[in-house]
């Protein structure tokens, strides 16, 4: 067995992903993993027999390689994942993007590693789609404070718990709200030992899973959650803020120097940018400027989205 992998199933999954998802030839896989070509053939058969590739074969999601390449080249991404389901509802587009993100996570997560997690519908779509990988024993750490009064299924603590159950590791809560009344209160909480320890674990994560929020009229998740009023969201728009990711508000250029961020309790953006793989999941026309700000700021290097949104982001990048 190739010593880079902790178990036989890890190796089989990697071989199957390269062959069925990335269209590598058996010889290319053999060269990449330093395994004989005849062994690759036997491994693909074994992977089928164990059911490791059944879902990917039976439920392949159409995707746009043209838009994926365009996004990757335009923003210097590690990878773009663009679901191509014309005419489908937003919920179906988001579920498709979440599935693509989940497959990507299944491919890159290493045994006994750490993944930092944010909140929201995009993150929830990936968490719901990821398969059971309890043998990996991956720890999941909440990277932003809790929203508290939103639907628990998309809040950070519940998503961390659900994902850890699938990945076979522990989950670590950030025991604090996302928004504090002022920066003094926020700074005081940031010095508490439990919060220091949790954020330090988030800094050490190899992967982050984040969503992308927006200040577009009627589309703000913080508005729906009751954390901001319509007037406050309008004020954010007036300041030039178009996006939110990992709890932080940004303008279309990716700048985050705004008053609202001085009372946010979350992993600081410079620390987020140092995480090797930052996977963002977001769909919808209302989020084109938001995604653009996140990508320009370098706060995601893997994007899962739908074709119409991807096209909108590319067009917006040309116009601003």
User: What pLDDT is recorded for position 87?
Assistant: 86
Q: What span, in angstroms and rounded, lies between the C-alpha atoms of 47 and 42?
A: 9
Residue whose C-alpha is closest to residue 64's, from 306, 243, 264: 306
Which CATH superfamily does the domain covering 8-50 fall into? Answer: Homeodomain-like (1.10.10.60)
101 close to 81: Cβ distance less than 8 angstroms: yes
| Start-end of CATH 1.10.10.60 domains in the chain | 8-50
User: What pLDDT is recorded for position 183?
Assistant: 95
Tokens of 270: 């410079």
CA atoms within 13 A on the CB side of 234: 3
User: What pLDDT is recorded for position 218?
Assistant: 80
101 close to 279: Cβ distance less than 8 angstroms: yes
Q: What span, in angstroms and rounded, lies between the C-alpha atoms of 24 and 36?
A: 15
Residue linked to tokens 């006994």 = 112
Residue whose C-alpha is closest to residue 266's, from 177, 152, 133, 191: 177
User: What pLDDT is recorded for position 149?
Assistant: 60
43 close to 18: Cβ distance less than 8 angstroms: no
Into which CATH architecture does domain 62-319 fall?
3-Layer(aba) Sandwich (3.40)
| Start-end of CATH 3.40.50.1360 domains in the chain | 62-319
246 close to 269: Cβ distance less than 8 angstroms: yes
213 close to 120: Cβ distance less than 8 angstroms: yes
Q: What span, in angstroms and rounded, lies between the C-alpha atoms of 203 and 275?
A: 7
pTM for this predicted structure: 0.81
Q: What span, in angstroms and rounded, lies between the C-alpha atoms of 84 and 35?
A: 34
Residue whose C-alpha is closest to residue 211's, from 203, 221, 201, 202: 221
Q: What span, in angstroms and rounded, lies between the C-alpha atoms of 102 and 105?
A: 5
User: What pLDDT is recorded for position 105?
Assistant: 96
User: What pLDDT is recorded for position 152?
Assistant: 67
Average pLDDT of adjacent 10-residue blocks, the chain of 320 residues: 66 87 87 89 83 53 94 97 92 94 94 95 93 90 82 79 92 92 94 96 98 89 78 93 96 96 96 98 96 98 98 91
Provide the residue count of the chain: 320
Provide the β-strand partners of residue 168.
Answer: 138
177 close to 265: Cβ distance less than 8 angstroms: yes
């Amino acid at each position: 067995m190739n010593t880079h992998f902790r178990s036989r199933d890890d190796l089989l999954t990697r071989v199957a992903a390269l062959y069925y998802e990335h269209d590598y030839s058996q010889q290319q896989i053999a060269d990449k993993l330093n395994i004989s070509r005849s062994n690759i053939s036997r491994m693909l058969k074994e992977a089928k027999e164990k059911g490791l590739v059944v879902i990917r074969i039976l439920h392949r999601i159409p995707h746009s390689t043209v838009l994926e390449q365009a996004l990757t080249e335009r923003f210097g991404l590690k990878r773009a994942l663009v679901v191509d389901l014309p005419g489908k509802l937003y919920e179906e587009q988001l579920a498709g993007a979440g599935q693509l993100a989940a497959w990507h996570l299944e491919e890159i997560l290493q045994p006994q590693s750490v993944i930092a997690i944010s909140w929201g519908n995009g993150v929830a779509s990936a968490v719901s789609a990821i398969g059971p990988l309890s043998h990996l024993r991956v720890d999941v750490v909440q990277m932003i404070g809790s929203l508290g009064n939103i639907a628990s299924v998309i809040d950070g603590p519940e998503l961390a718990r659900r994902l850890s159950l699938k990945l076979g590791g522990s989950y670590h809560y950030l025991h604090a709200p996302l928004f504090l009344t002022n920066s003094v209160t926020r700074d005081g909480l940031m010095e508490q030992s439990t919060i220091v320890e949790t954020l330090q674990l988030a800094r050490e994560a190899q992967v982050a899973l984040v969503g992308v929020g927006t200040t577009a009229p009627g589309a703000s998740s913080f508005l729906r959650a009751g954390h901001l009023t319509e007037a406050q969201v309008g004020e954010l728009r007036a300041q030039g803020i178009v996006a939110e990711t990992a709890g932080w508000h940004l303008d279309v250029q990716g700048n985050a120097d705004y008053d609202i961020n001085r009372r946010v309790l979350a992993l600081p953006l410079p620390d987020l940018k140092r995480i090797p793989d930052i996977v963002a999941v977001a769909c919808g026309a209302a989020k084109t400027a938001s995604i653009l700000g996140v990508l320009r700021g370098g706060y995601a290097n893997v994007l899962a989205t739908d074709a119409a949104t991807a096209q909108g982001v590319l067009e917006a990048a040309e116009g601003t």
